[in-house]
A and B are shown apart, each in its own frame.
Chain A
Amino acid sequence: MIVGEQKPLEEVKKLVAEADKVLVVGCGTCVTVSFAGGTKEVGILASSLRMATQLDGHAKQFDEVTVQRQCEWEYIEPLEAQLGDYDLVLSLGCGIGVQALAERFPEMPVVPGLNTTFMGMPTELGVFEERCQACGDCILGLTGGICPIARCSKQLLNGPCGGSQNGVCEISPDTPCAWQLIYDRMAARGQLDRLLEIQPPKNWSTSRDGGPRRIVREDLRKLEDVE
């Protein structure tokens, strides 16, 4: 899932500074699961902003709504009827949600209340960890199901580097060394010999380096024609 984290209140206050009536729009999918942009967080942020702007001597209106998914037209369509009453939308969706709202309602200023941090998962209560970089050419089959692109600080394909010690990465004792994890996993599977193969330079053209990505599924487009 996509993991997000709320921006500091001061930054959000600056982003909404020029508006008087703000609609805070949450998203019921990924960012709800990461406790950053669901109904509950929308409520808390809206109240904080109401209080903060009141204390600043210029109380503003913050109303709340959460849609099931900000990244699909059909779920954001119904917002159109409400938007006439507001001069700004504060989205607590991920970066995709913010852009979907801005694209669908081009006249309406839409600002982000979250930082979209990564694609990952909760590994324990209150801890979220990155797992995928969407490189577009998955190599998990070679690395024991542990991604060195997302989890090695240097994205090594032939790790570990000399900075791996006691299971952690040189950048921080809180960062497990992805290649130690890969080594341990392959050892447990009796597949260490696979780590002796030299992996060639990666084709990054399928990643963001190849430019913004797009998938066209002709099979699905034909179905639409039939309908």
Chain B
Amino acid sequence: MTQFSTNGYHVGSNLEKVIHSGQFVVTGELGPPQGWERAEIEHKTQLLKGLVDGVNLTDNQTAIVRMSSVAAARILVEEGLEPIMQMTCRDRNRLGMQGDLLGAYALGVRNVLALSGDHQVFGNHPTAKNVHDIDSMQLIKMIRDMGAGRFQNGDNIVGGPMPMLVGAAANPFADPFDFRPYRLAKKVAAGANFIQTQLIYDMNRFREYMKRVVDMGLHEKVAILAGVGPLKSSGAARYMRDKVPGMMVDDYYVDEMLKAIDGIPKEERAERGNAWRKRGIELCIEQIKEIQQIEGVAGVHIMAIEWEEAVRPIVEGVGLLPRPTFDA
């Protein structure tokens, strides 16, 4: 069994402890509301509590304004669920990002996921100016430097080091495919401690990617969490296959989702929805079981955005409960 590492780093977060324990890691995701109501986050927190080892709080996901991931992460801390705060390079320069990282650390956040960020043309403020002062690679290094007590400019942080577990994204389905494992290697060299991949709906491609990653020995340095998510409908599967840049969806998943509603007339919308959701969850369970067989994978990152109820049957279905706990 591979001993999973966090790139030789120690911060003491729950996520880190699960990774080091060698048990199959499960992380979840929660999209903060397009508003200020705390209750919505509390509700979603309850749906995920006890099922996952950490929860990503998205940062203005798909360039749509939402409650900040810093604030949402703090709410999770208060609710007793470990946050993984996402931070993109789209909306803030290095001053804004470091200021928010200091604040997040002060508020008890110990895991961060460093991302470039979706381009703002996709979002609800397409006329906005974007920032991209630094890129995700440089952000990883900046967070690690802050972990050692230094700002990006080399100055000392008042109060000293603020170690946070740094996550990074990897997309095995983007191009150029041959470069993707090397880009992962760069992120590891920059200091990433764990990796969450893009949603996987093409197992063969993912297997090929992991084979190359393992050949390079990257899986021994960093914990790779495979991104999965339950499909909601055949239309959603087709849309991701045909329209979403950076995604690949095997026809198998589109076909299976179509088969799920075989014989159910179009008018029976509720029945179709139920059949789709049932099959979506089954396929996700099937995928996770396949992923568990792939060398070098340390766990899964389940993205059931706006469908947090799906996480319990998935995690239960795979047999991943109860989640490990550790003495404080």
Chain A residues with a Cβ under 8 A of chain B: 153-171, 177, 180, 183-184, 192, 195-196, 198-202, 204
Across the interface, do A170 and B245 meet the contact criterion of CB distance under 8 Å?
yes
Q: Which of B94, B118, B135, B179 contacts A163 (CB 8 A)?
A: B118
CA A168 to CA B174, docked complex, whole Å: 10
CA A170 to CA B243, docked complex, whole Å: 10
Across the interface, do A198 and B189 meet the contact criterion of CB distance under 8 Å?
yes
Across the interface, do A165 and B135 meet the contact criterion of CB distance under 8 Å?
no
The segment from B14-22, B47-55, B136-144, B265-273 found at the interface with A is: B136-144
Residues of B within 8 A of A161 (CB): 116, 136, 174
Across the interface, do B90 and A160 meet the contact criterion of CB distance under 8 Å?
no
A142 to chain B, nearest CB (A): 14
Across the interface, do A162 and B119 meet the contact criterion of CB distance under 8 Å?
no
Residues of A within 8 A of B190 (CB): 198
A14 to chain B, nearest CB (A): 21
CA A192 to CA B183, docked complex, whole Å: 12
Across the interface, do B246 and A170 meet the contact criterion of CB distance under 8 Å?
yes
Identity of the chain B residue whose Cβ is nearest the Cβ of A197 in the assembled complex = B186
CA A196 to CA B171, docked complex, whole Å: 17
Q: How many residues of B contact A (CB 8 A)?
A: 37
B198 interface residue (CB < 8 Å to A): yes
Residues of B within 8 A of A155 (CB): 132, 135
A187 to chain B, nearest CB (A): 8
Residues of A within 8 A of B132 (CB): 154-156
CA A161 to CA B136, docked complex, whole Å: 9
CA A145 to CA B299, docked complex, whole Å: 40
Contacts A156-B132, A196-B186; is A166 near B175 (CB within 8 Å)? yes
Interface readout for B163-181 with A: 1 if CB under 8 Å, 0 if not? 0000001110111100100
Contacts A154-B116, A170-B119, A180-B175; is A198 near B182 (CB within 8 Å)? no
CA A202 to CA B175, docked complex, whole Å: 25
Across the interface, do A165 and B89 meet the contact criterion of CB distance under 8 Å?
no
Contacts A157-B138, A158-B138, A162-B169; is A196 near B121 (CB within 8 Å)? no
Across the interface, do B133 and A165 meet the contact criterion of CB distance under 8 Å?
no
CA A196 to CA B121, docked complex, whole Å: 29
B130 interface residue (CB < 8 Å to A): yes
Across the interface, do B174 and A156 meet the contact criterion of CB distance under 8 Å?
no
Across the interface, do B133 and A167 meet the contact criterion of CB distance under 8 Å?
no
B185 interface residue (CB < 8 Å to A): yes
Across the interface, do B179 and A160 meet the contact criterion of CB distance under 8 Å?
yes
